[in-house]
């Protein structure tokens, strides 16, 4: 029944948005971490969403074609910032420390967009549930 599928589809979206919000939380938490080299510096994590267009693409056990899943968690490839600070214990031989490449402002914006999408899908579920209950009411005498 289609109404049941709506719960699955919107649920998969809630899940994907939650992964996105978790990635944002991790990025913000690590915004101020420093490292001794550019390779070790923290890089912002970005989830990549993918639509589930056929049965093959759906995760094991879920049948909700048309939902969304997190296909990959990629790292932001922007070059990390550098600061000359010889007093820092993490500084390299030249006295340079490497910052994370997290942009706090864009992370906050991403978090708001993610929260808004989450709310949208909650609303979809609420409406579907209400209609389901009304359909059940047909059997009331």
* Residue 95 region by backbone torsions, left for phi larger than 0, else alpha for psi between -120 and 50, else beta: left
Instruction: For the segment 76-105, give every residue that binds another protein (CB under 8 A).
Output: none
Distance CA 40, CA 42 (A): 6
How distant is the alpha carbon of residue 82 from its chain centre? 27
Q: Which stretch binds another protein (CB under 8 A): 14-22, 35-43, 78-86, 91-99?
A: 14-22
Residue position matching structure tokens 């944002």 = 24
Q: Select from 57, 59, 106, 135 the one that contacts another protein (CB under 8 A).
A: 135
Instruction: For the segment 106-125, give every residue that binds another protein (CB under 8 A).
Output: 113-114, 117, 120-121, 123-124
CA end-to-end span of the chain: 24
SS3 content of the chain, % helix, strand, coil (to 5): 50, 15, 35
Q: Select from 29, 48, 74, 109 the one that contacts another protein (CB under 8 A).
A: 48
The binding site for another protein (CB under 8 A) comprises 1-3, 5-6, 9-10, 12-13, 16-17, 20, 48-51, 66-68, 113-114, 117, 120-121, 123-124, 127-128, 130-131, 134-135, 138, 141
């Amino acid at each position: 029944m289609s109404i049941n599928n709506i719960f699955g589809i919107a649920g998969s979206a809630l899940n994907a948005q939650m992964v996105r919000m978790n990635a944002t939380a991790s990025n913000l938490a690590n915004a101020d971490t420093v490292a001794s080299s550019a390779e070790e510096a923290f890089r912002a994590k970005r989830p990549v969403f993918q639509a589930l267009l056929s049965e093959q693409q759906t995760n094991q056990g879920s049948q909700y074609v048309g939902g969304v899943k997190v296909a990959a968690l990629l790292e932001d490839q922007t070059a990390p910032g550098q600061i000359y600070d010889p007093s820092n214990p993490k500084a390299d031989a030249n006295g340079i420390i490497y910052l994370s490449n997290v942009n706090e402002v864009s992370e906050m914006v991403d978090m708001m967009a993610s929260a808004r999408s989450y709310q949208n899908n909650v609303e979809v579920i609420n409406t579907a549930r209400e209609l389901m209950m009304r359909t059940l009411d047909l059997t009331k005498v």
